A and B are shown apart, each in its own frame.
Chain A
């Protein structure tokens, strides 16, 4: 296990190094394009006329110390700006994940149990729609229905947030905050929900055919106990794997949802930074999101072995 973790750690470092190289190239080019060389070089403490490698080395040594440059718009260290924006994004992803969890399990089980039921067909066709309609269209549709037409949910921003600790202000502690998070979270969940419904449905149908379910039936256990306790447990393995990777993907989708809902998170901030040509912020975002992906994947792998003891991480070629 420890060997495995060490291997993963080295791998993660490699990935981050590649990301940093890409990030640095982006920054180097942006600065050149904008003729801001003097300004952004000062922002990075990098000598302007040094060679590429020298500049890259300076950039990396800064990055290791948590110095990714200063945002030209926010006038603060890029990393601080991102850390300030991160809680909003993480809360949005968390809310979306909760929604996916709440809806995908019952819907998935229902469609597996009654594959030919009209409702099942309806769920599956709607889920195809959800998968193929882009997030920003879903978002605009939600705003049009719930904010403009029925006027029951707010259309933008975070509303009243309650400070918790440091930069973390939460949406989950006030009625107004909860109301504000519903629409963006649904918009975000709409991309993931179909995938999970179908995944759980497929796994469930497999499991329901297995011997132990038949035996459980024969023993006279209540059907709900069989479905939700015995069968569901065994469908979870692929769900966790896919889920871990998909949460990373959600980070990417937040760029769209946050922009439409004016959600002050890091996805919206990234798009703005691109429009303003705020190079340090763009690079810092790439680095941070890269790091999030690496950490998530590692956690998923470790969880995998916890859920399924037959997977032996130590022996796996990492």
Chain B
């Protein structure tokens, strides 16, 4: 008996060797996308997945330009209507052909998505002209049509229509729920889902009828494994168990770049890390001198150098370089004597006590940054009671405005400057959702007006001027405390030309990835 069991084991051992496909890419991210539905949750993980199994109408290039994908060309037919021409003979994974009706259907569906409808708020409807032509209609002239449409990934209307076996609508969007679309997908993307075990492993196979035959991409299979621990992910790359990892922790960057078999790919990021001072809770923060003093007391450059290991860009404003509202000459404020003088001038030489709240697993080194800032503020006699909590609880606390100083990082969904102000520093307004994450209570009608005008200004030069004026006002008022923009890093095995497919949106275009022969 024992011998037979042993023989069986040996047989399994001998015949269960790994069967690797040609050009198989093993990817390790820190987390698994929560769902296969592109419109269930607005997050980096969802976007990364959407670019694998779906295609957007248009997408960003590395140079921050718009590139045609499923939409071949577009033109204005009226100030509030833009006409798009769809690529022909594009197949979904199910075999159905992509038509303008799919785009219309997808648009109507995402308008019901809690996370995505804000991005599409300026658009009123999509109307089909013929099978491959449709009009996008807006409530008023809107300069960011293409920016927004990078989020439109046409879904297979026929595939997602009808009822499941237990009588539920296949199209329904259920956040954190067990919906048809969270487990099944049919897109036009370069990869189809072959296998998926949530949180453990997903396998994607190249879609052999993919429309983009011009693409040089030669990856046949992608095996995606989430590895949460930074050091384990790094070890997996260095030992050759995976080919591509993201993110790379700042303290691990050198390990990746120094290793003979791997290379480090970096890119200046666009996520701004900031603090907000709550003026409603702490009257002292209403004084512009106190806010400036706080800004002067914090050594942004020191935080970037010591805590971020130089892997972030010191900031004095919201808009990173390349954005239209970016002001080249704005330098970070740091001058301890000036800070003390401002505090004394405002009558707070003896300082005061405040509470501070920050997440400890949301942004790179968030907890240590908060600790450093608390320490720096003690030098101008502001005594900080710091508490850090997991991100799962943080946003509820943030919405409740639960502390005097709170940390928030922001990436502009539209890759545009106005978006920062709209959510972080505009006068809070329940109805329009403006200032949704403005916990400071800062409200400057001049700034809001500049944003409003920018949002309907179609002339690019004029628009850039408006946004730069806006940025200057926020800086002069010390409306928020800027720290830095997080940089992006990917660790890749040599011979994989990933430097050509990564982007500031942190959603690599794996369909175009070239793997060199080993």
Contact = CB atoms under 8 A, between A and B. Distances in A.
Given A272-B199, A277-B393, A155 B225 contact: no
B235 A75 contact: no
B396 A33 contact: yes
A277 B16 CA distance: 38
B427 to A, nearest CB: 24
Given A174-B16, A259-B228, A259-B229, A34 B393 contact: yes
A74 B34 CA distance: 8
B100 interface: no
B391 interface: yes
A166 interface: no
Interface stretch (B42-50, B174-182, B265-273, B487-495): B174-182
Contacts of A72: 176
A157 B17 CA distance: 16
Interface in A136-171: 140, 143-144, 147-148, 151, 154-157, 160, 162
B392 A156 contact: no
B194 interface: no
A43 B176 CA distance: 11
Interface in A32-78: 33-35, 39, 70, 72-76
Contacts of B432: none
A173 interface: yes
A39 B232 contact: no
Between A143, A174, A262, the greatest number of chain B beta carbons within 10 A of the residue's beta carbon is seen for A262
A274 interface: yes
A293 interface: no
A73 B232 contact: no
A7 interface: no
Contact of A73 (B34, B227, B396): B34
A228 interface: no
Interface stretch (B131-139, B237-245, B286-294, B322-330): B237-245
Between B34, B176, B177, B226, the greatest number of chain A beta carbons within 10 A of the residue's beta carbon is seen for B176
A261 interface: yes
B361 interface: yes
A9 interface: no
Contact of A173 (B12, B176, B399): B12
Interface string B223-255: 001111101100110111100000000000000
B232 A155 contact: yes
A34 B392 contact: yes
A75 B239 contact: no
Contacts of B17: 175-176
Given A260-B229, A264-B199, A277-B393, A147 B241 contact: yes
A144 B235 contact: yes
A177 B240 CA distance: 17
A303 B386 CA distance: 51
B232 A261 contact: yes
A25 B182 CA distance: 31
Interface size class of B (residues with CB under 8 A): 35 or more
Contact of A148 (B18, B199, B225, B235): B235
A275 interface: yes
Between A70, A148, A264, the greatest number of chain B beta carbons within 10 A of the residue's beta carbon is seen for A148
A72 B198 CA distance: 12
A143 B176 contact: no
Nearest to A143: B235
Contacts of B79: none
Interface string B463-504: 000000000000000000000000000000000000000000
B13 interface: yes
B306 to A, nearest CB: 23
Contacts of A162: 12, 16
Interface in A90-106: none
Contacts of B235: 143-144, 147-148, 155-156
A214 interface: no
Interface string B176-206: 1110001000000000000001111100000
A160 B16 CA distance: 8
A143 B232 contact: yes
Nearest to A174: B16
B200 A264 contact: yes
B421 to A, nearest CB: 27
Interface in B149-194: 176-178, 182
Given A33-B393, A176-B16, A275-B390, A156 B227 contact: yes
A276 interface: yes
A44 to B, nearest CB: 14
Interface in B331-361: 361
A75 B176 contact: yes
Nearest to B198: A74
A262 B177 contact: no
A284 to B, nearest CB: 16
Contacts of B396: 33-35
Contacts of A264: 197, 199-200
Interface in A75-89: 75-76
Contacts of B77: none
Nearest to A70: B178
B236 A155 contact: yes
Contacts of B517: none
B317 to A, nearest CB: 32
Contact of B176 (A35, A39, A140, A144): A39
A274 B240 contact: no
Contacts of A174: 12-13, 16
A157 B225 contact: yes
Contacts of A33: 393, 396
A73 B225 CA distance: 17
Interface string A97-138: 000000000000000000000000000000000000000000
A272 B228 contact: yes
A27 to B, nearest CB: 14
Top 5 nearest A-B pairs (CB, nearest first) are A277-B392, A75-B178, A147-B239, A72-B176, A174-B16
Given A34-B396, A272-B228, 4 more contacts: A75-B176, A148-B235, A148-B238, A155-B235
29 contacts: A33-B393, A39-B176, A72-B176, A73-B176, A73-B198, A75-B176, A75-B177, A143-B231, A144-B235, A147-B235, A147-B236, A147-B241, A148-B239, A155-B236, A156-B225, A156-B236, A156-B241, A157-B201, A160-B16, A173-B12, A173-B16, A176-B18, A262-B228, A264-B200, A272-B228, A275-B361, A275-B391, A276-B392, A277-B390
Interface of B: 9, 12-13, 16-18, 34, 176-178, 182, 197-201, 225-229, 231-232, 235-236, 238-241, 361, 390-393, 396, 399
